[in-house]
């Protein structure tokens, strides 16, 4: 049976795909690539939250929301320019605001790897991947309370 093409997967399925991929990279000591995959999972988690908020609050079509996601440019941009403003006055705002420092750390390291060619070692990667996992769970569980990254991925950094 063929896998579902990536562009046809839901945000949840994309997060899970990134996490499975990072598990393999981590097991091969490819720390930098594992961090990039973990950071990608965090950004997809924010995409999920933003899409859900726009779907619940507006009649904007998916194409327009995708345009906003590109405009916001990256994890911290999406959190600061879209998600937190959407959540002002809701109980979700405090949760996302408490995760903002994780987003800044994750985005900073991801950008150093992706844009400057920087590498990281296991001692840097492990806590960053843990922060990514906490961030993904924190965001996604606001919308999918039973969501948990697969067991094989959860033990990556243990």
Contact 113, 36 (CB under 8 A): yes
**Average of per-residue pLDDT across 143-153:** 80
pLDDT at 47 over 80: yes
**Average of per-residue pLDDT across 17-41:** 94
148: left (phi over 0), alpha (psi -120 to 50) or beta: beta
pLDDT at 32 over 60: yes
CATH architecture assignment, domain 12-154: Up-down Bundle (1.20)
Residue ranges of domains in the chain:
12-154
Q: Residue 139 has what pLDDT?
A: 98
pLDDT at 128 over 50: yes
**pLDDT tens sequence across 79-119:** 999 999 999 999 999 999 999 999 999 999 999 999 999 99
* 157 — pLDDT class (breaks 50, 70, 90): very low
* 1 — pLDDT class (breaks 50, 70, 90): low
**Average of per-residue pLDDT across 24-41:** 95
This prediction's pTM: 0.91
Q: Residue 2 has what pLDDT?
A: 65
DSSP secondary structure string for all residues of 38-102: HHHHHHHHHHHHHHHHHHHH----HHHHHHHHHHH-SHHHIIIIIIHHHHTTSHHHHHHHHHHHH
Residue 138 DSSP code: H
Q: Residue 110 has what pLDDT?
A: 94
Residue 86, φ and ψ in degrees, nearest 5: -65, -30
């Amino acid at each position: 049976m063929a896998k579902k093409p990536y562009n046809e997967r839901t945000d949840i399925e994309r997060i899970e795909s990134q996490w499975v991929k990072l598990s393999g990279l981590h097991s091969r000591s490819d720390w930098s690539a594992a961090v990039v995959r973990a950071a990608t999972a965090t950004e997809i988690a924010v995409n999920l939250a933003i899409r859900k908020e726009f779907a619940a609050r507006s009649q904007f079509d998916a194409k327009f929301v995708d345009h906003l996601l590109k405009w916001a440019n990256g994890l911290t941009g999406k959190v600061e320019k879209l998600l937190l403003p959407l959540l002002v006055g809701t109980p979700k705002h405090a949760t996302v605001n408490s995760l903002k420092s994780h987003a800044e750390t994750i985005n900073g390291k991801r950008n150093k790897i992706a844009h400057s060619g920087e590498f990281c070692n296991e001692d840097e990667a492990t806590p960053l991947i843990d922060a990514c996992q906490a961030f993904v769970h924190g965001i996604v569980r606001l919308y999918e309370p039973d969501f948990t990254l697969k067991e094989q991925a959860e033990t990556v950094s243990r």
